[in-house]
Structure 1
Amino acid sequence: MHSAVFLIEFGAIILGLGLLGRMAGRLKFSPIPLYLLAGLAFGEGGLFPFGASEEFVAIGAEIGVILLLLMLGLEYTATDLVSNLKTQYPAGLVDCALNALPGAIAALLLGWGPVAAVVLAGVTWISSSGVIAKVLGDLGWIGNRETPVVLSILVLEDLAMAVYLPIVTALVAGVGLAQGSLTLAIALGVAATVLFVAVRYGRLISRFVSSDDPEKLLLVVLGLTLLVAGLAQELQVSAAVGAFLVGIALSGEVAEGAHALLSPLRDLFAAVFFVFFGLHTDPTSIPPVLLPALALAVVTAATKVATGYWAARRAGIGVKGRWRAGGTLVARGEFSIVIAGLAVTSGIEPQLGPLATAYVLILVIVGPLTARYSETTGARFAARGAAKAAAPADDGGEAGALSPVPAARGEAADEEPRDSV
């Protein structure tokens, strides 16, 4: 009987996701907000709560995040990643300063204390790699010139979590300095080792994985990804970071073949992830903290747009690409919930959990919207810049009319997709 209920519930979820995805496709809209709202409707405190399939959905959601980051990593090589990290680390520092400080200040203004301030700083700092990876794919922006900038910021954030999460865990648990330092040292060592292996031995890994049989290639790539992600998480490093590094370690025909084989699985489990997020949010806990969460969301959405704009401008991207980069980074998601969950389980502040949930729900819905409409905003600013640049030439009469209108720096290349970083 239990298995029958499970099949009915999970079948209804998958069917509903398919219908919502079809609706979003006809409206030319990202399906992520619809998936989240469906999760709210069928989760705790919702209209029709599910129960039997909860554990399976939770595992599927975790696999969804891993596959999203793996597929994003397959788009780039290890050499390209290191090169971009070397050039984009100032953007990571700006990202931390602009987006972590609002969360810390908000916690202190609410009287929650320094530990809660550190936790809420992480919640507002880290963008959702899973949501952003899905948005980039849905909007067809993977090959855009600004995408490496966005990717570099996301990777810097994910790698920073290897340092941040052990620190937060130690703070909320109240462990001693020695134990906290040991946890941090292990996390840093694992992250550095995995990155070194991906960069130094990526070609050997690709040879080992390579196979002319699609079935064998699928099994080896998927098994390797889940294995590395699990080991990384066991050692206090993000599973998403491990999956991403597996993706960049694979190159050439192996990466192309794996991308084609794993795309349907990614779409399925990514949709399950977004539904799972909504399933575990009680709608009745949101109204009491809605106003402070909304205010924090407005402030940090603006700071994320500023971060992406500044980083893209620094990389020589044109006006439209700068706005696309900023709008893409707005969404928060899986990491923010993980960070808030550490505080909730330790009981340092009862209201922190609901506020973080409301905050993430707002930005995980608004994020795909800002990404979609940032291109329109960027086009308007680019048009204004072109008009201003053309104005002096127009004053010159016929000669001015024959003069070409100078484009904004890097603007012409905005419309040309890049296959790699």
Structure 2
Amino acid sequence: MHSSAIFLIEFGAIILALGLLGRVAGRLRFSPIPLYLLAGLAFGKGGLLPLGASEEFVAIGAEIGVILLLLMLGLEYTASDLVSNLKTQYPAGLVDAVLNATPGAVLALLMGWGPVAAVVLAGVTWVSSSGVIAKVLNDLGRVGNRETPVILSILVLEDLSMAVYLPIITALLAGAGLAAGSITLAIALSVAGLVLLLAVRFGRHISRFVSSDDPEKLLLVVLGLTLLVAGVAQQLQVSAAVGAFLVGIALSGEVAESTHHLLTPLRDLFAAMFFVFFGLHTNAADIPPVLLPALALAVVTALTKIATGYWAARRAGVSPKGSWRAGGTLVARGEFSIVIAGLAVTAGVNPALGPLATAYVLILVVLGPLTARYTEPIAQRFTSRREAVPVSATASQDSTAATASASDTAADDQAPAGR
């Protein structure tokens, strides 16, 4: 009875604090994610008020939060959108892997941690946080922007790549042979392909199965189906986030609209718990010794992510403003990076790798919402200074530039991106 009361007090304090922080962020017109993370640090190990009884529940809620974030993103797009975007954006996925995995691998080798640690840290720096970025897109009202399909294509390519990467890194850490690693990889790829095939080919049938005029029944069926697919995918070494995203893709029409309306409050609640959970597992005492290399790595890979997003969006025909927004939005790292580092720490690769990855992700998960909002205006201010038209320029040139700028803004901010 006593432990139950403590659980209610702790969990109630967390929810109340999140609500107040969200209100403050709303007043400041700022994403609440950094404030949620700081709240997690305050309640975590070495914080002002460490939790005990409710930590396990928060961990489960955090996992559900990531799943719901990706489900809601999937609801914005059809299966045909997904397939066409993946076909056109796979070169961007290759550029993303090269530009963002290389800095992590190079740092690990320079620090003398060996090739296995280099592969691990390459994964940490490569993959953006789908959970953080989904929340940022929603907070900034950019789900319908023209650059958003490019962002989502890169995120999905990264998540699908994890279906290949995670079995490989697990085999490397365990010292498994080529045969065992190949079997694990084949299973992961088969499951990912099967889920994608079901979403693309049988989406209408899935929507009919889920459809219901009763909101209660619709909510239960969609939520249960999503958690079931996500759990099976994760059990078979495929990202739970990928499974949830593809469930959202499979739902269409009125079912998608009704589901979006019903699940929005649940998504916001559990997504906030995800960011708190991340802070809970960050011990501030472990960060100072690795802060400088983590900060240097964060700066380099923030720039490489911005370059990746800008190049991919320009290649897709998005104007410079939207391309800068795409690059800034991709900066945040999060759940996958922590999972990868956790596997390495458990295997005993290097004791410094875990704190370094934690500090690195914490820096970028706070910096990510800032770059998402401010990369485009900063870049525009910088480029406008460099390309300023002389006073003696003709009036017709000024008029043409103004017209092009207005056209870019309208195309970026008003064009629909999904359903």
TM-score > 0.5, shorter chain as reference: yes
Map of 1:281-360 to 2, 5 A cutoff?
281-360=282-361
Match of 2:45 in 1: 44
Letter in 2 for 1:26: R
Structure 1 residues 317, 386: closer, same or farther in 2, change over 3 A? farther
Shift of the 403–176 alpha-carbon distance from structure 1 to 2, 3 Å rule, reads closer
Offset at residue 412 of structure 1 (A):
3.8
Contact 1:319–1:381 (Cα < 8 Å) also in 2: no
CA spacing shift, 1:401–1:45, aligned 2, 3 Å: closer
Paired letter, 2:170: T
**Which amino acid in structure 1 is aligned with residue 413 of structure 2?**
E
Displacement of 1:381 in angstroms is 5.3
Give the deviation of 1:232 after TM superposition: 0.2
* CA contact 1:124–1:300 (8 Å) conserved in 2: yes
Deviation of the 1:384 alpha carbon: 5.5
| Corresponding residue number in structure 1 for 2:182 | 181
Q: Secondary structure at the match of 1:407?
A: helix
Cα deviation per residue 1:51-110 (whole Å; 9 max; x = unaligned)? Answer: 100110010000000000000000000110000000000000000000000000000000
List per-residue Cα deviations over 1:331-385 (Å, max 9, x = no partner). 0000000000000000011100000000000000000011111232244357568
For residues 291-340 of structure 1, the C-alpha deviation after alignment (integer angstroms, 9 at most, x for no partner) is 00000000000000000010111111111101100000000000000000
What's 1:366 paired with? 367
Distance 1:250 1:286 in 2: 43
* Deviation of the 1:15 alpha carbon: 0.3
Residue 400 (structure 1) shift:
6.1
Residue of structure 1 equivalent to 2:33: 32
Distance of 2:376 and 2:202 partners within structure 1: 38
The 3-state SS of whatever aligns with 2:49 is: coil
Shift of 1:176: 1.2
1:414 corresponds in structure 2 to: 412
Write out per-residue CA displacement over residues 171-210 of structure 1, whole angstroms, 9 at most, x where no aligned residue.
0010111111100000000000000000000011011111
**Alignment match, 1:115:** 116
Q: Superposed, which structure 2 residues align to 1:151-170 within 5 Å? A: 151-170=152-171
Mapped to 1, the partners of 2:8 and 2:201 lie a distance apart of 45
Q: Scaled by the length of structure 1, what TM-score is found?
A: 0.96
Paired residue for 2:214? 213
User: 1:236 maps to which residue?
Assistant: 237
1:401 Cα deviation (Å)? Answer: 7.0
What is the CA-CA distance between 1:44 and the residue it aligns to?
0.8
Work out the CA distance in 1 between the residues paired with 2:383 and 2:202: 43
1:4-83 to 2 correspondence within 5 Å?
4-83=5-84
What is the one-letter code of the residue matched to 2:416? R
Q: Is the 8 A contact 2:149 2:417 kept in 1?
A: no
Q: Which amino acid aligns with 2:194?
A: T
Alpha carbons of 1:396 and 1:304: their partners in 2 closer, same or farther (altered >3 Å)? closer
Q: Is the 8 A contact 1:320 1:382 kept in 2?
A: no
Which region of structure 1 is more displaced relative to structure 2, 306-315 or 403-412?
Answer: 403-412
Cα distance in structure 2, aligned partners of 1:384 and 1:245: 44
Structure 1 stretches lacking a partner, 5+ long: none
Look up the equivalent residue of 1:279 and give its one-letter code: L
Separation in 1 of the partners of 2:6 and 2:244?
A: 33
Structure 2 stretches lacking a partner, 5+ long = none
CA distance 1:383–1:181, shift in 2 (3 Å)? same
After superposition, the Cα gap between the structure-2 partners of 1:265 and 1:109, relative to the gap in structure 1 and judged at 3 Å, is same
Task: Assess if the C-alpha contact under 8 Å between 2:308 and 2:327 holds in 1.
Answer: yes
Q: What is the alpha-carbon distance in structure 2 between the residues aligned to residue 211 and residue 403 of structure 1?
A: 53
Letter in 2 for 1:305: I
TM-score, normalization by structure 2: 0.96
Cα deviation 1:387-408 (Å, max 9, x = unaligned): 54xx69x7446x6677674516
SS of corresponding position for 1:415: helix
Q: CA deviation at 1:420?
A: 1.2
| 1:111-139 deviation line (CA, Å, top 9, x unaligned) | 00000000000000000000000000000
Question: Counterpart of 1:95?
Answer: 96
Superposed CA deviations along residues 252-294 of structure 1, whole A, max 9, x for unmatched, are 1100000000000000000000000000111100000000000
CA distance in 1, matches of 2:344, 2:24: 38
In 2: Cα distance, 1:55 partner to 1:341 partner:
17
Following superposition, the deviation at residue 47 of structure 1 comes to: 1.3
**Count of aligned positions:** 417
Deviation of 1:416 after TM superposition, in Å, equals 1.2
User: Structure 2 CA distance, aligned partners of 1:52 and 1:338?
Assistant: 23
CA–CA distance in 1 between the matches of 2:401 and 2:353? 56
Question: Distance in 2 between the 1:157 and 1:54 partners?
Answer: 29
Q: Which moved more, 1:57-66 or 1:377-386?
A: 377-386
- Note if contact 1:9-1:52 (Cα within 8 Å) is conserved in structure 2: yes
